[in-house]
Amino acid sequence: METYEKEGITVHTVQGKERGEDFTVFGSVHGNEFCGSVALDRILQNIKDEKIRIKAGVFTCVPVANPLAFAQKTRFVSHNLNRAFYPREAEEITCQEHRFANVLAPLLQKRGGYFLDLHSYTANGNAFAILGGEMSEDYKAFAKSLGVARLIYGWGEVVKDDKTHEDARTGQGTVNYARLPENGMYSITLECGHHHNPDAADIGYQATLNVLKMLDIADIEEALFEPGVMGGEQYSIKLKYVQFKTKDGEFAKDWINMDSVLAGETIATGGDGEKLTAPQDGFIVLPNKNATIYDEWFFFGVREDF
């Protein structure tokens, strides 16, 4: 294993002896999301103990992508590393997190390969994967191999009319950067559950194992796999729309991420009494009960397996 440090970021790379796929994983892009770093530290220890043996291709691992925010246990310090993620010239750099992006971005300039970004989130709920880009058969296989019960796609379609940013790079995160045509990586964000879910790190760990196995770049001791960690039946949810909070109002109940809702059921009620109801049977995705006016309040999706 080759390990180096740059700008405080530690990068680990293992090269197999045979030709094979390229797989890169980041943890703790947000400093208050610890599950990725715990999961990847465990993967690295397994490699050192030869319980995981990289036999082909290249495995690159960054357990803590934002060490400054990680040390302070905060989402970010000066700049959200998962927004406006791109390499900058020296005169454009205004904070340490810009320097971190300059270290991380070259790791995603692979002209192919697979990228997994491990996160957690603030809402109550279980793990899910966020998909995007071209839904090729290889990409679908990557998504399904994670083992997580919920695969969400269609983000690009529901936000495509958002003209908030004149520079498209402003909203660009790590996975968006990785899948740019010039980088060409299959990329997925895995939300491993609530920040404090006790199994969040286990989910990140199992998902990483599952992809290593699917890509056939590692021999892995069977005892490391715990499929029961990943939840129940796997299916896909396609987002249909995002509901912004345009006026005062409250949710009809304390929605949990991925809660099912029936057609006609009240999702929220405005301060003026107007009800927002589900247009069809579906799911409430990423409900934000603390949303302020013009914030994203919730997403609505339906089951559509790809």
pLDDT tens-digit profile of 178-217?
999 999 999 999 999 988 888 999 999 999 999 999 999 9
| Per-residue pLDDT reduced to its tens digit, 23-51 | 999 999 999 999 999 999 999 999 999 99
Q: Is the pLDDT of residue 163 over 70?
A: no
Report the sign of the C-alpha dihedral through residues 79, 84, 87, 89, in that order: negative
Find the radius of gyration of the CA atoms of the chain.
20
For residue 222, which phi and psi values (nearest 5 degrees)? Answer: -60, -30
What confidence category does residue 165 fall into, taking pLDDT thresholds of 50, 70 and 90? very low
The structural domains of the chain, with segments of one domain joined by +, span 2-233, 240-303
> Rounded to an integer, what distance in angstroms lies between the CA atom of residue 114 and that of residue 211?
9
Where helices occur in 49-173 by DSSP H, the ranges are: 67-72, 96-104, 137-145, 155-159
Asked if the domains at 2-233 and 240-303 fall in one CATH topology, the answer is no
Assigned CATH class of 240-303: mainly beta
Length of the chain: 306
SS3 63: coil
Assigned CATH class of 2-233: alpha beta
Q: Is the pLDDT of residue 299 over 80?
A: yes
- Percent of the chain residues topping a pLDDT of 70: 97
The confidence score (pLDDT) of residue 162 equals 52
Output 228 or 22, whichever has higher pLDDT: 22
Render 219-257 in DSSP notation, one character per residue: EE-GGG--GGGG-S--EEEEEEEEEE--SSEEESS---T
Whether 154 contacts 130, CB under 8 Å: no
